[in-house]
Structure formats: C-alpha cells, structure tokens
C-alpha cells in the first residue's frame, strides 16, 4: 500500500519545475517507491530509470556515456520526445554531475529532459551538486515515516491538511490557540491510531518496511539486516575508512548517548581511537543521513553558552537494535525514554520544516548555569523554543527555562511545551502546551 508522504505536494511541484530535482534521504525510507508512484500517475511520460548501484551502468557513466545510456534505455534520441530520467544512488558516481550539467545547459529552455536524482549520501551529493549544478538544482528530503504517515498504515482514510507546525508558524499568537484547538478536534477521532503509532515509533522508528512487519522477532531481524547492508553498501566502499568494526562500535556508543551533548574525550577513550578518526567516522554517519548534530543557539542577547553540539542517531529502531531495548516498558525503566522521545520530536520537526521553502535551522540552548531548552527552531524572522517531556505532567523547571528564553530572546514570540498531556494555550506566558499525538 502506498502511503501519501507529508511533503509530497512540495516534491511533486519540484518534479514539474525545469530544474534538476535531488531527493535525499537515508537508506530504505522510500525514495524509489515515491518516484515510481509518481511515474505510475504519469504513464504518458517517457521514463528512463538508472541506478548507480548497478556496476555496469556506473561504469558507462564513468566513461562519459550518460547521454548514450539514456538514449539506449529510452529507445530514442533525447531531442525526439521529452524524457524523464531518474537516477538512483547518484552520489556513488561523481562523474555523473558534470555530464548532467552539460546536458542541462544544452537543453535549457526546452522540455526535452527532466532529471530526478535520489541519494542516501547528503554531503557527497550536496557537494557535487554545488560544484557542478549550482543554480540548476532543487534539493528536497524524504525522511522515515512521521507520525501521520505511520498512523495512516492503520487507517485507510486519514485526514490530510495543514500540519500542526504550519498552524504554529503562519498565524499570530492571538489566533494560534483557536486554530490549534480546531486542528486537534479534527484529529481527535484518530487519536488512538496516533498514540499507537507514537508508541511504536519510540521503539521501532519510522522505516516503512519495519512498520509493516507485525512480528517483533522479524522486526529485529530486519533492523539487523538493515545495519549490515548499511555497513556493507554505504560505508565499506569509502576508501579512507580502515576499520569497519570500530565504525560499528562508534554507532553503538552514539546510540547510547543520543540527545546528549557530545563528549569527544569520553568517546575517544571508549573507542580507543584518535580524535581525527572519530571526527572522520562521525562525518560519514552524518553524510549518510543517519546522524545529525544540533549546535547551541547563540543570539546576540544570549551569553555564556556551551559550545559542544548535541548528537542524534536519527532512527529510533536502529537505536533499539544497537542497545537491545525492544519494548516501551523496558525503555521507561532504563531512564532513556526522554532522549528517545526527544529524538522522535526532532524528526517530526524536520518533517514539518520540509514542507516550507523558507530557510530554517534547529538548535538547542544551554547556559553555563545549566538553564536549558531542548530544541530551538529558527525559521524566517521567528525563533521558537521547544521543551520536550515524555510525561503527561507539566515540569515546572522546564517551564521556567522556557520563560527565561522568551525573556532574553526578543525574536521568540512564544514557546512550545511538547508532552503527553492535554492541549493548553497560556496567553499570559505565551506558551503552547501541545499533546504529542497531535503532531503531523
């Protein structure tokens, strides 16, 4: 069953643009399925599918034969009829991009060819595109299933409309409370599905195939195979990576510490490696879109902030596999459920931001006095702080931290408290209390 993706509309719009479209996402999030579904909706178009994971095709491109390969696959000259060319795992063939540039520039202003590139390597693809395709490419992201997408696996007719984040960012605060109440009221018939999906994503993450597997042991086997394939196909081929077992050990250590401020000295001691090796290997994690770091928010009124970033292994299912925790009760007993919940919220915010073309960044905030705000989203002229709590009760300490941030940062019109409790809108404090099941 095909599941409508949250930012489908924005990506489809890019497919119809005259630019090259790059669709980025980690392994097995559904990039190929997404493009194939789009192709099935437009059978009248002439489609050509290439894959740089296929050695024979990659070798042809490396010999500067991209145009010939496209014409052979399409059964026609490029100028004969418009061609839609999809190239999977584009980052694995660096010589591809210069050839696309030549074709693009030659055919500019004509509908003869549309390139759609997919890739699971952000830094390499982004760098190659910047060097060869600057001004010619639009980059979009497809992430693992968010809450709404995961819940739609349980219900065939799920409501589609504005996300909660769109409501927050496009309205004055005086209107937000009423609009959010309407949004949550529309979702309330689906609350059981949303809450089940949330609980499942805390343990199993959002890889589409994992969420369609019912048996727990089969889920574990899938995640083990996923990790092995990631190591063998995405990592082993990196020429400067000399120790695959050290790389896996680093992943295991980062999984234990996800959501925490990075402590390189402790990591180096635990792994028995050099600082340069740690930096290089962590860069590979980030380049393959399975890990990200959030840096401290430093606005001009804010002083004495720590400098080290927080690190997140983004897939909760992979964290479960690497830590051996496979049920929510056990996770709650370990005390790590708060970090896992924050990891999930970070993903939901990323998905929400993907639907808006305005530039945005996600940070955290912590002073030397240990006053902390979990997540800070800078989007356009606004800065919005988020406190995240797994509990259904309101933590007065977290509220105090939100209020301090709002006092010190004039760009922040309000704050958000995300938790498992009820919706409230405190107009005097300018704080929104949002139930986690309403995200999407």
> Which tens digit of pLDDT belongs to each residue from 280-299?
999 999 989 999 999 999 86
With contact defined as beta carbons under 8 Å apart, do 356 and 349 qualify?
no
Mean pLDDT across 63-86: 94
* Percent of the chain clearing pLDDT 70 (strictly above): 94
Distance of CA 71 to the CA centre of its chain: 34
Structural contact between residues 290 and 241, judged by C-beta atoms closer than 8 angstroms: no
292 forms beta bridges with 312
pLDDT at 165: 80
Domain ranges of the chain: 8-142, 149-438
- Residue pLDDT, tens place only, 216-246: 999 999 999 999 999 998 888 776 788 999 9
CATH 3.30.50.10 applies to domain 8-142: no
Task: Check whether 334 has a pLDDT greater than 50.
Answer: yes
Q: Tens digit of pLDDT for each residue in 118-148?
A: 998 754 555 655 567 878 889 899 999 999 9
């Amino acid at each position: 069953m095909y599941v409508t993706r949250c930012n489908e509309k924005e990506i489809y719009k890019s497919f119809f643009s005259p630019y090259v479209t790059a669709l980025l996402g980690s392994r097995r999030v559904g990039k190929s399925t997404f493009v194939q579904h789009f192709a099935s909706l437009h059978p009248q178009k002439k489609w050509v599918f290439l894959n740089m994971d296929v050695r024979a095709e990659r070798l042809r491109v490396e010999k500067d034969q991209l145009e010939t390969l496209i014409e052979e696959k399409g059964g026609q000259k490029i100028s004969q009829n418009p061609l839609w060319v999809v190239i999977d795992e584009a980052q694995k063939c660096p010589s591809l991009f210069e050839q696309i540039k030549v074709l693009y520039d030659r055919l500019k202003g004509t509908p003869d060819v549309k390139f759609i590139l997919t890739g699971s390597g952000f830094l390499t693809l982004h760098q190659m595109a910047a060097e060869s395709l600057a001004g010619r490419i639009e980059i979009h992201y497809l992430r693992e299933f968010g809450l709404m997408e995961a819940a739609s696996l349980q219900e065939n007719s799920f409501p589609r409309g504005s996300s909660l984040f769109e409501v927050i960012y496009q309205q004055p605060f005086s209107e937000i409370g009423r609009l959010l109440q309407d949004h949550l009221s529309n979702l309330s018939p689906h609350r059981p599905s949303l809450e089940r999906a949330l609980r499942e994503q805390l343990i199993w993450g959002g890889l589409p195939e994992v969420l369609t597997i019912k048996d727990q042991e089969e889920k574990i086997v899938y995640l083990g195979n996923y990790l092995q394939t990631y190591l063998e196909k995405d990592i082993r081929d990196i020429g400067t990576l000399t120790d695959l077992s050290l790389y896996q050990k680093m992943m295991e250590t980062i999984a234990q510490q996800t959501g925490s401020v990075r402590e390189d000295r402790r990591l180096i001691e635990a792994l028995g490696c050099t600082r340069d090796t740690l930096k290089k290997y962590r860069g590979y994690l980030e380049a393959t879109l399975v890990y990200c770091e959030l840096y401290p928010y430093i606005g001009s009124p804010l002083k004495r902030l720590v400098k080290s970033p927080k690190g997140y292994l983004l897939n909760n299912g992979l964290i479960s596999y690497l830590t051996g925790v496979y049920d929510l009760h056990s996770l709650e007993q370990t005390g790590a459920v708060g970090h896992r919940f924050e990891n999930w919220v970070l993903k939901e915010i990323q998905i929400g931001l993907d639907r808006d073309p305005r530039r945005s960044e996600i940070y955290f905030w912590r002073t030397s006095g240990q006053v902390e705000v979990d997540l800070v989203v800078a989007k356009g002229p606004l800065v919005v702080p988020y406190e995240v709590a797994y509990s259904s009760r309101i933590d007065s300490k977290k509220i105090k931290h939100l209020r301090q941030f709002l006092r010190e940062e004039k760009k922040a019109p309000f704050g958000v408290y995300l938790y498992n409790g009820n919706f409230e809108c405190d107009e005097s404090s300018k704080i929104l209390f949002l139930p986690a099941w309403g995200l999407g």
